[in-house]
Amino acid sequence: MNVSDSEAISGILASAGYLSVDDIENADLIIVNTCAVRDTAVSKVKAQICRFKPLRNRKKIKIAVAGCLAEHEGESLLKDLPIDYVIGPDRYKFLSELEGGVRVSVSSTDDENGFYSGFSPVRKKGVNTWVQVMRGCDNFCSYCVVPYVRGRERSKPSKDIIREIEGVVSEGFPEVTLLGQNVNSYKDGDLRFHDLLRHIDKIKGLKRVRFMTSHPKDLSDDLINCFGELSTLCEYLHLPVQSGSDKILAAMNRGYTNKDYRLLIDKIRKRVPSIALSTDILSGFPGESDEDHALTLQLVKDIGYDAGFMFIYSKRKGTKAASMEEQLKREIKVARVNEIINVQMEITKAKNSQCIGNIEEVIVEGVSPRNPSKITARTRTFKNVILDGTASEVGSFLTVRVTGSTGWALEGEREGV
């Protein structure tokens, strides 16, 4: 979402006559697009801004803080950091109106629903691009700051989404990832997300579609049935579970149980047995016991995710969980999340080893950063494959045989060569 927002910011500034520069010393304006979901993200961005202070003092470069941190902490950032502007995620169009020397703070409102339809994003050249289908969230999970910094759910009109995807396909992007805090809640009149996917599937020239993120409580049978039926929809689903404990899931206000989640996984795998699954897990939530942690570990082992993203719970100002009792010590949270990570690492390695011998369609994404004689490619199940090749093949579709696994990535060779 932040990458997509940064592309929108670049488009807004380009329309106002700004040019991007490779050397930061030549900049007039530095924009730091931020996240406020976790303490680590906030700490990193504040440290980075402080490193820009000498440039601001010496070169008179203006610094703007945009995004969720700007909305979460507001004008207090102007007092605490060496910056000039604070602009929330739904007011980026005001970046084109900034005047030198004016210290302004522009807070987020429901301006244009945050979709910036009047500006063309400046997209990074590549294979995949991002298309936002909705913004905001109505779920109010007790640990999450998103509804407070990005507002309530708003869906982009389907006709605008179709037009945007047709445009990026004509620019040479064969793959799009549809974005939303909870894409399952998408609605445009009577049209729902599964309907949108069916319309998108008909776009000529589009080869692959992915989406994120899905909320388990809203994952409908209609959406599950799109897998294996729509030729563009990849066999990959990111479905955050957060915890395997019903007690913790209720405290998180997630709206489903361990059993509910497992039944969804069973439905998905029955529909497409080869589908790859990934998840998010939040470890160390207030009141989480050893038993709750064990339930999460067991769920990870039983589901057998292809990949997982594990995080430590951190207090977010304004959320319900921040005021809950039984906040856990950091050393407990770190130990628990590391245990989950280690379990998932072994599962991922085993899953990838099982792919050896498979014939896969891949799209070449780039040159391997570790070996210029190798290229990296992506399967429909979102697995990375490393094989011989050159930069001239980026964007090409190849048929490969998986010959090995490095643990996190697959190794392959061209089929029939």
pLDDT tens track for 276-301: 999 999 999 999 999 999 999 999 99
Dist CA 398 CA 155 (whole Å) = 35
In sequence order, the 6+-apart residues with CB closer than 8 A to the CB of 68 are 34, 35, 36, 37, 89, 145, 146, 149, 150
The pLDDT value recorded for residue 100 is 46
Q: Is residue 417 very low, low, confident or very high in pLDDT (cuts 50, 70, 90)? A: low
Q: Is the CB of residue 162 less than 8 Å from the CB of residue 171?
A: no
pTM for this predicted structure: 0.90
Contacts 24+ apart (CB under 8 A), 335-341: 336/283, 336/284, 336/288, 336/293, 337/281, 337/283, 337/284, 337/310, 337/311, 337/312, 339/293, 339/297, 340/281, 340/283, 340/296, 340/297, 340/300, 340/308, 340/310, 341/308, 341/310
Examine the pLDDT at 107 and tell me if it is beyond 80: no
Report percent pLDDT > 70 for the chain: 96
The pLDDT value recorded for residue 114 is 64
- 113-353 has which fold? pyruvate-formate lyase- activating enzyme (3.80.30)
Question: Mean pLDDT across the stretch 165-186?
Answer: 96
Bridge partners, 375 (sequence order): 367, 387
**pLDDT-wise least confident of 61-70, 184-193, 374-383:** 61-70
Whole-number mean pLDDT of the chain? 92
Show the tokens assigned to 132. Answer: 């936002």
Examine the pLDDT at 270 and tell me if it is beyond 60: yes
Examine the pLDDT at 74 and tell me if it is beyond 70: yes
| Angstrom distances, CA of residue 319 to CA of 103, 253, 383, 403 | 29, 12, 35, 48
Q: Is residue 390 very low, low, confident or very high in pLDDT (cuts 50, 70, 90)? A: very high
Dist CA 162 CA 196 (whole Å) = 9
Examine the pLDDT at 99 and tell me if it is beyond 60: no
**pLDDT-wise least confident of 150-154, 161-165, 212-216:** 150-154
| Domain parsing of the chain, residue ranges | 2-112, 113-353, 359-414
Dist CA 86 CA 348 (whole Å) = 41
Task: Please give the distance of CA 54 from its chain centroid, rounded to a whole number.
Answer: 32
Examine the pLDDT at 398 and tell me if it is beyond 90: yes
Q: Is residue 108 very low, low, confident or very high in pLDDT (cuts 50, 70, 90)? A: very low
The pLDDT value recorded for residue 90 is 80
* CATH annotation of 2-112: 3.40.50.12160
Dist CA 176 CA 380 (whole Å) = 12
More confident residue, 47 or 408: 47
Report percent pLDDT > 90 for the chain: 73
Query: What architecture is domain 359-414?
Result: Beta Barrel (2.40)
Q: What is the DSSP letter of 393?
A: G
Burial annotation 166-205 (CB, 10 A radius, 16+ → b, else e): eebbeeebbbbbbbbbbbbbbebeeebbbbbbeebeeeee
The answer to whether the Cα torsion of 111, 115, 119, 123 is positive or negative is positive
The pLDDT value recorded for residue 113 is 61
Q: What is the DSSP letter of 329?
A: P
